[in-house]
Amino acid sequence: MKQEIGLQGTEDAPVDPDRLHSAQADVKMTGRLPNVKIGLMERLLILTVAFVLVAEFLIFLPSITKFRSDWFAERVQAAEIAATALEIAPDRKVSQELSARLLNETQLLAVAMGDEEMWEQVFSPPMPIASMPVTMDLRDETWFDAFFCLFAHATAKDGRILQVISHTDSGTEDSYIDIIVPEEALRSDLLEYSINILLISLLISAIVGSFIAWSLYHLVVKPMMKITNAVADFGEAPERLAAFKPSGRDDEIGKAELALVDMQSAVSNSFRQNKRLAELGEAVAKISHDLRNSLSVARLASDSLMRSEDPRVQSAAPRLERAIERAIGLAEATLQYGKADAPKAHMVTVELRNIAEDALLEGVAANPEVDWLNDVDEEVQVYADPEMLHRLLANLVRNAGQAIAQQEADAEPGLIRIGAEIIDDTWIQILVEDNGPGVPEKVKTKIFQPFSTSENKGGSGLGLAITRELALAMGGEVALDETVEKGAVFKLKLQLAGVSSGEISS
C-alpha cells in the first residue's frame, strides 16, 4: 500500500509507478518499516510499563507456584471431606451415581487413604486408567521443587495422570491420602490463572505507567522542553538576550534553568563585545592608516634633525627615530589586527637589559614622578622578537606607572623594577614589579581579557590582552603573581638564547 511505504499521490502529482515499485522493493529487501519518531513522553510510558511488567513477572513466579500448591491442597481437602462422608454412610457405601458426582466435582479420578502398614481405596475410578500415573509426593516437596514442576506441567504430553500423595489433616503422622487427578485440569486452571494475572498486570502497568509518565512529564519533560526551546531560540539570535524566566525550583531542573540564564547572559555579552571589537577594529584600522602617513612625515623631519650640529639634538634624534619607527610598525600591525592569524614573531637573540631600558623610559614618560630600576644583568640574552618584547614590557611598565600615579598623595614614592631570573637551561622569567596599589581581587581572574574591568582611569582594558597575545606569539607566557600582598608583579616566561625554536613548549 502507498501509505505503508510512505508514498502518497494526489490528482495533481500522481505517484510514479517506477518509484512506487522501487520503494516496495526496498521495503521487501531491507525488511524495515518507515522510521517512527518517538518522543520522550512516549519512551517514558513504554519504559514504565515494561518495568512494571518485569516487577509483576517477578511476583508472578512465586504466585503461580503457590497457586499450584493450593490447587493440590484443595483437592486433598475435598478428598478427605468425601472420605468423611463415606464413613458416615450406611455400610460405608455410597451409590455409584453419588460417587461419580463427588469425583467429578472435585476433578478426582480415585482416592485412597492409609498409613505405612495398610491403605484403603475410598473411591474407585469410574473407568480404568489408561496410562501409568506420575507420582508427586507433596510430603517432602520444597518450594523450588514445586517451582520446577511448573515447567513439567507446561511441557507434558496431553492425557498424563498425576498420583498425588499428601499428609492428612486428621489421623497420625504416618497417615496419608493418595489421590489420582488428571494433569489437564491442573494445566487448564494454571493457564486461566496466568491469563488473569497477565490482564491484571497490564491494567496495573497502564495505570501506574500513566501516572508516572504524567508526573515525569510535568516534573521533567515539560521543563526540559521549555529549556530546549529557549536554547533553540537563543541559537538563532545569540546576540539577543532571550526572555527566559526560571521557574524558581531548587532541584536539578532549577539549577539547569539558572545555568541557562547565566550562559545566555555571558554569550550575549560576548557577542555584543565582539561586535564592538569589530567596529572598533575597523575604526582603528582607518586611524592607523592616517597615522602611518603622518608618521612618515615625522620620520622625514627626524632625518633633518639628524643633520643638526646641536649636540643635544644629535643625542635625542636617534631615540626619536626609534620611537617613530616603532610607532609606524605599530600602525602597520594594527592594520593586520582584523585577521584571524596570530601575530608572527621574528625571533632573534636580543640583549634583555637594553630592551628593558627602552621599555622603562617609554613606559614612565607620561609619569616622570615615578622612579624606575633596570635590574637585569648585562649578559642576559633571550630568544624573542625585539619589537614585540619592547611593546610587551612597555605596556606592563605603562600600566604600573598609571596605577602608581593614581595613588594618594601621602603614599610612598613610586618605583618600577624590571628583573630577571633564570629558571633552567631553557627558560628565563622576567619580573616587572611595582609598589603601587596592586590589582583588585575582582579583576585578577579576567585581567588579561579584552575590555576587562580596569581600575585605571582612562584605561581601555586592551593593554594586558595585547601583552598576553605578544607573549604567546613569542612562545612564552605572562601571568600575574597573585601571592604578592603589596603592589603588583607580572611574570614573563621566555626562552633563553641559544635554544632552538622547536624546543619552545606551550
Produce one character per residue of 315-335: b if its CB has 16 or more CB atoms within 10 Å, e if not: eebeebbebbebbbeebeebe
Helix H or strand E encompassing 27: helix 17-30
Buried b or exposed e, range 253-268, using 16+ CB within 10 angstroms = beeebeebbeebeeeb
User: ∠ CA(117), CA(121), CA(122), 5° rounding?
Assistant: 125
Burial of 407 (0-12, 13-18, 19+ CB in 10 A): middle
Instruction: For residue 258, give every residue at least 6 positions away whose Cβ sits within 8 Å of its Cβ, in sequence order, or none.
Output: 246
Displacement of CA 79 from its chain's centroid (Å): 67
Cell of residue 180, nine digits: 489420582
* Interacting residues of 110 by C-beta distance below 8 A, sequence separation 6+: 103, 121, 123, 124, 125, 129, 179, 180
Retrieve residue 49's grid coordinates. Answer: 510499563
What pLDDT score was predicted for residue 208? Answer: 80
pLDDT of residue 355: 94
Could you list the pLDDT tens digit for every one of the 506 residues in the chain?
Answer: 333 333 334 444 444 545 444 444 444 445 554 555 676 677 777 887 788 778 878 888 888 888 888 888 888 887 877 777 666 666 555 556 666 666 676 677 778 877 767 777 777 776 777 778 888 888 888 888 888 888 888 888 888 888 888 887 765 667 888 888 888 888 888 889 888 888 888 888 788 878 887 887 788 878 888 878 877 777 776 666 556 677 777 788 888 878 877 777 777 777 777 777 777 767 776 676 666 666 666 666 666 666 677 777 667 767 676 676 666 666 655 555 445 455 678 999 999 999 999 999 988 887 888 899 999 999 999 999 999 999 999 999 988 998 888 887 777 888 999 999 999 888 999 999 999 888 888 888 888 876 565 555 544 456 788 888 899 989 899 999 988 888 899 999 999 986 544 333 33
- Which contiguous run of DSSP H or E holds residue 297? helix 252-306
Which single residue is written with the C-alpha cell 486428621? Answer: 170
How far apart are alpha carbons 161 and 180 in whole angstroms? 7
DSSP state of 373: E
Handedness of CA 123, 126, 128, 130 (dihedral sign): negative
What's the pTM value of the predicted model, to 2 decimals?
0.41
Please tell me the predicted confidence (pLDDT) of residue 32: 53
Please give the pLDDT value at position 477: 92
- Angle, alpha carbons 468-474-475 (nearest 5°): 90
* pLDDT the model gives residue 145: 83
How far CA 494 is from CA of 74, 117, 200, 417, 441, in Å, comes to 94, 107, 77, 18, 27
Angstrom distance (rounded) from CA 117 to CA 400: 115
Q: Which 3 state secondary structure label does DSSP give 496?
A: strand
- Whole-number pLDDT of residue 1: 38
What amino acid occupies position 62?
A: P
pLDDT at position 150, please? 84
Half-sphere exposure for 412 (CA within 13 Å, toward CB): 8
pLDDT at 176: 81
How far is residue 473's CA from residue 383's CA, in Å, rounded to a whole number?
12
Q: Residue 450's pLDDT is what?
A: 67
What is the structure's pLDDT at 255? 83
pLDDT at 372: 93
Strand partners, 179: 111, 164
Grid cell at residue 210: 500513566
Judged by DSSP in three states, 491 sits in strand
